[in-house]
C-alpha cells in the first residue's frame, strides 16, 4: 500500500506524478482521533499515511468507495512492504488514507489480516474490497494487472505464489464516516 510517487504507465495511459502527502494535515487528523479516542490508541505513534491505488483516478475512486462504505478491505503484496522497509500491519493498527492531492481523509484500523497466495482470495473478500464487479473473478483479473504493473515499476517480478496481505479494515475517523 505504499504511496505512488512516480509517473505510472497503465496500458496506454500515462499519469503524472502525484502531489506530496500533506503530513501536517495527517498529524492534525491523527491528533483529533487520539483526543476523541485515547483508549483506542495506547502504544501507537502516528500511523503511516498511504493511498489506495497507483494513479490519481484510481486513488480517488477507491477512497470514495471507502468514504461511502462500499470498500472495507484491501490487498497488497508482502514483498512491497519488505522492499519499503515497512513492517506488515497488525490487527488493531491504524493507517491514514489520503486522496490523490495528498490530503489525508480518513483513519482506518485493521480488523483482520491474512497472508496467502493471490488465488486464495475468497469471494466474500473480493466483495468487501468493493472494486469492479465485486466478484472473485473480477478481483483476480484486476489484481493480477495491478500487481504486475506495480511490481514492474518497482523492479520486482510478480508471481502468483507471492504472499498477498488480505486486510479488512474499519473507518474510525472522522466520526461521521466511522462505523
Confidence at residue 43, expressed as pLDDT on a 0 to 100 scale: 72
Question: For residue 5, what pLDDT is reported?
Answer: 32
Q: Model confidence over 91-139: pLDDT tens digits?
A: 999 999 999 999 999 999 999 999 999 999 999 999 999 988 899 999 9
At the second CATH level, the architecture of 20-173 is Roll (3.10)
Predicted local distance difference test score (pLDDT) of residue 13: 41
Counting other chains too, the contacts that 83-89 makes at CB distance below 8 Å and 24 or more residues apart are: 83/154, 83/156, 84/2, 86/2, 86/48, 88/113, 88/115, 88/165, 89/113, 89/165, 89/167
CB 74 within 8 A of CB 142: no
Q: Which of 156, 148, 164, 135 is nearest to 11 (CA)?
A: 148
Q: Determine the pLDDT at residue 8.
A: 34
Q: What is the pTM of this model?
A: 0.86
Listed as ranges, residues in the chain with pLDDT below 50 are 1-14
- The ranges assigned to domains in the chain are 20-173
Q: What is the pairing mode between strands 94-98 and 49-50?
A: parallel
- Percentage of the chain modeled with pLDDT above 90: 79
SS3 call for 169: strand
Q: Provide the pLDDT for residue 4.
A: 38
Q: Which three cell numbers stand for residue 44?
A: 501507537
Q: What is the pLDDT of residue 16?
A: 64
Rounded to the nearest 5 degrees, what angle is found at the Cα of 176, between the Cα atoms of 64 and 91? 75
Contact 5, 56 (CB under 8 A): no
Amino acid at each position: 500500500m505504499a504511496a505512488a510517487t512516480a509517473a505510472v504507465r497503465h496500458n496506454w495511459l500515462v499519469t503524472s506524478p502525484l502531489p506530496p502527502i500533506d503530513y501536517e494535515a495527517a498529524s492534525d487528523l491523527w491528533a483529533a482521533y487520539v483526543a476523541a479516542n485515547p483508549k483506542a490508541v495506547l502504544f501507537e505513534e502516528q500511523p503511516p499515511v498511504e493511498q489506495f491505488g497507483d494513479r490519481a483516478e484510481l486513488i480517488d475512486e477507491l477512497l470514495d468507495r471507502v468514504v461511502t462504505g462500499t470498500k472495507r478491505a484491501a490487498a497488497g503484496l508482502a514483498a512491497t512492504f519488505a522492499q519499503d522497509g515497512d513492517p506488515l500491519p497488525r490487527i488493531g493498527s491504524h493507517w491514514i488514507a489520503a486522496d490523490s492531492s495528498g490530503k489525508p481523509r480518513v483513519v482506518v484500523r485493521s480488523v483482520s489480516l491474512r497472508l496467502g497466495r493471490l488465488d486464495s482470495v475468497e469471494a466474500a473478500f473480493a466483495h468487501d474490497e468493493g472494486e469492479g464487479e465485486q466478484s472473485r473473478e473480477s478481483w483476480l483479473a484486476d489484481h493480477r494487472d495491478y500487481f504486475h504493473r506495480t511490481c514492474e515499476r518497482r523492479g520486482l517480478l510478480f508471481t502468483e505464489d507471492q504472499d498477498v496481505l488480505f486486510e479488512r479494515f474499519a473507518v474510525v475517523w472522522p466520526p461521521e464516516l466511522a462505523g
